[in-house]
Structure 1
Amino acid sequence: MSIGIIGESLIDMIPLDNGTLQPLVGGSPFNVARAVGRLQSPSVYLSPLSKDRFGDLLCETLVHDNVQISSSTRSSKPTSLAVVSKNKAGQPAYSLYREGVADRDFSVEAILARMPHDLTVIHTGSLAIVPADIEKIRQILLNARERGITVSVDINTRPGVVDNTQNYINAVKSIIPLCDIIKASDEDLEFLGLKGSPEQLCEQLMLAMNGGVSAVTLGSEGAIAFNGSDFVRHPGFKLDQITDTVGAGDCFQAGILTSLYESGYLNPTALQALPESKIAEALHQGCACAALNVMRQGCNPPTKEELITFLNTVSPLTSN
């Protein structure tokens, strides 16, 4: 069984105090693939990688982090770039260079051909679900559903990357009914026009889904998830330092997926009967993975050993 990931791989250009930019590997689905691999669950990255030097770096990083890739995933197009800036709270903003890039150089048929026979989950989201690429993604997810593969999506909106906001909102909403697992931040859902308490946001997602579990991240306050009958809320962790939040949501997603994988619930049938205790375990691991990541620069997912040590030494904040 394996977890397949589709979506952007790019180089984040991170500003340093001396005014220079440091290149770091990134991209939300790429980060998820790395994080899943570091947590010792079988991870397969399915989108193309460039043949340029940055593409080599992305490829080497995946291999180092126990992620499977296919030799047919290399593209002659260049690697996508994201110039990152941060506000005083460490929240990132991105200037993206995404036209004619490698990770968008794919067909539905090519991705389906790369999918392993033992694929258990297909995960995507973020820049992969913008209007320009949504039809290809929708066809891949439809095929996955027909094959009994769990569909996971991290909405992870990037409002500045498209000119027509309503088209973007429509594109994202069009794939929610295909999802077995969906994760969004409260800011994502506000962009989509959803309003209410965290519980109400989870419920609104679930109503549009195929069943399974919906999760909403709440920044430093942790996260909440819903399985159609039970709401489970998990507080954040008390941290001595926060470097930045780049990749925190991606590490959270990987924590959720690997927890459900380890407990045997990462298939559509099992997800329909996901007990409250397993949601709590998944949120605990997801929040811990995100907490470890925000103490580091850029996206630097925890290993399985680091996660175990953290969970044995750091406690969540008390829930309100």
Structure 2
Amino acid sequence: MILVSGEALIDLFVDTRDHERARTGLPALAVAGGSPFNLAFGISRLGAKSGFLGGLSEDGFGRMLAARLEAEGVDISLAKTSKRPTPLAIVATGADGHPTYTFHAENCAECDLTAEDVPFNLDGISAIAIGSFSLIMEPVGTTLVGLVRRSAANCVVSIDPNLRLSLVPDLAHWHARFDGLVRHASIVKLSVEDLDAAYGTDADEAEIAARWLGAGAQLVVTTDGPNGATAYHACGTVNVPGRNVTVIDTVGAGDTFHAAMLASLERSGRLTRDAIDGFDQEGLRTLLTEAAVAAGITCSRRGADLPTLEELRAALAVI
């Protein structure tokens, strides 16, 4: 099983442009979300067993999130039922039509995970996938560091920073934590937007990837939307082009790419540290192409509607 740990939250979509209606109240649409949440059910849809380790509130939103995970086939037996509220991401549409995001995540359920909430015996776990803003929230951030340190020798660790600067009050602290986790990681997957946010737009991607590989990571993958994806590995650097699709929106595209990589490795029996070490360039090209096709499917429809394995195989059959 691939164990995903991090936040599950509610994206609350509100159109704030109708000032007349605002006098009596604006309608809102609540949608289940969060990068680790999307990753967990995305892996399940793509034919691999997944589980979710994190705080889920006992409030109505939390029950909604738990029910959605179970409906998607995700094992939530390791999830913690928390008395804290569900974190919210308020997505408001401005006068220019562009969305703005406001996060209400402090002291919420996603933070409520301590070392005592993590079972000591993790037999049967082939990989642990972590990321997003749970990495620097407390106590969950410290809990994830401990989980990674004691598990990395026995299973694959995959990290996706999914960096949101508005939730990072101290970027130096984020760097220290992330760089510490990279030393234990098998896979680091991130977007060029993550790189720009963390290191600036003038940062040298290949140099950063080489530094992480030198620190202990086995595979670094960067995604760049329509420009494709690049893998950095001891066997060399591999780039695949983006997919030519009609984009509805890009919500969940990065989570889909990550889910597709992990699910493919699990289905093929290659989700081990030794197998990742043994990749050649052709194998990496195949893996990245499959993940890019999966992400393209998500971009072609509304919201984080990640593909099933049948949909992915059908799309791969015609390229």
TM-score of the superposed pair, with normalisation by structure 1: 0.88
In the alignment, is residue 34 of structure 1 matched against residue 33 of structure 2?
no
Between Structure 1 and Structure 2, whose CA radius of gyration is higher? 2
Q: Which of 190, 194, 199 is matched with 1:193 structurally?
A: 199
Quote the Cα distance in structure 2 between the aligned partners of 1:96 and 1:198. Answer: 29
Q: Give 1:277's match in structure 2, choosing from 267, 282, 285.
A: 282
Match of 1:212 in 2: 218
> Root-mean-square deviation (CA), in Å?
2.5
Change in CA separation of 1:216 and 1:14 when aligned onto 2, cut-off 3 Å:
same
Tell me the amino acid that sits aligned with residue 229 of structure 1.
C
Aligned mates of 1:10, 1:23 — CA distance in 2: 10
Residue 10 of structure 1 aligns with which residue? 9
Point out the more displaced range, 24-33 or 130-139.
130-139
Shift of 1:262: 2.0
CA distance in 1, matches of 2:269, 2:292: 20
Aligned to 1:318: none
Deviation at 1:91, TM superposition (A): 8.7
3-state SS of 1:62 partner? helix
Partner residue of 1:165? Answer: 171
CA offset at residue 51 of structure 1?
Answer: 1.4
Greater mean deviation of Cα atoms: 225-234 or 193-202: 193-202
**Where do 1:61-100 residues align within 5 Å?**
61-70=68-77, 73-85=80-92, 94-100=101-107
How far off its partner does 1:93 sit? 5.2
CA distance in 2, matches of 1:206, 1:62: 34
Residue of structure 1 in register with 2:62 after alignment: 55
Change over 3 Å in CA distance of 1:15–1:202 after alignment to 2: farther
Unmatched 5+ stretches in structure 1: 316-320
Shift of 1:309: 1.8
Q: Residue by residue, what CA displacement relative to the aligned partner does 1:243-302 show, whole Å, maximum 9, x if unpaired?
A: 221211111100111111122221112211122222122211211121111222221111
Q: 1:221 to 1:15 in 2, by over 3 A?
A: farther
C-alpha separation in 1, matches of 2:100 and 2:2: 29
Post-superposition offset of 1:174: 2.1
- Alpha-carbon offset, residue 217 of structure 1: 0.7
- Cα pair distance change 1:175/1:86, threshold 3 Å: farther
The one-letter code of the counterpart of 2:306 is: P
SS at match of 1:34: helix
Query: 3-state DSSP class of the match of 1:66?
Result: coil
Q: Percent identity?
A: 29
Note closer, same or farther for the CA distance 1:136–1:116 as it changes in structure 2 (3 Å cut): closer
Any unmatched runs of 5+ in structure 2? 19-25
Q: Distance in 2 between matches of 1:87 and 1:207?
A: 44
Q: Could you say if the C-alpha distance between residues 199 and 72 of structure 1 is closer, same or farther in structure 2, counting changes exceeding 3 Å?
A: closer
Partner AA of 2:155 in structure 1: I
Q: 1:93 to 1:143 in 2, by over 3 A?
A: farther
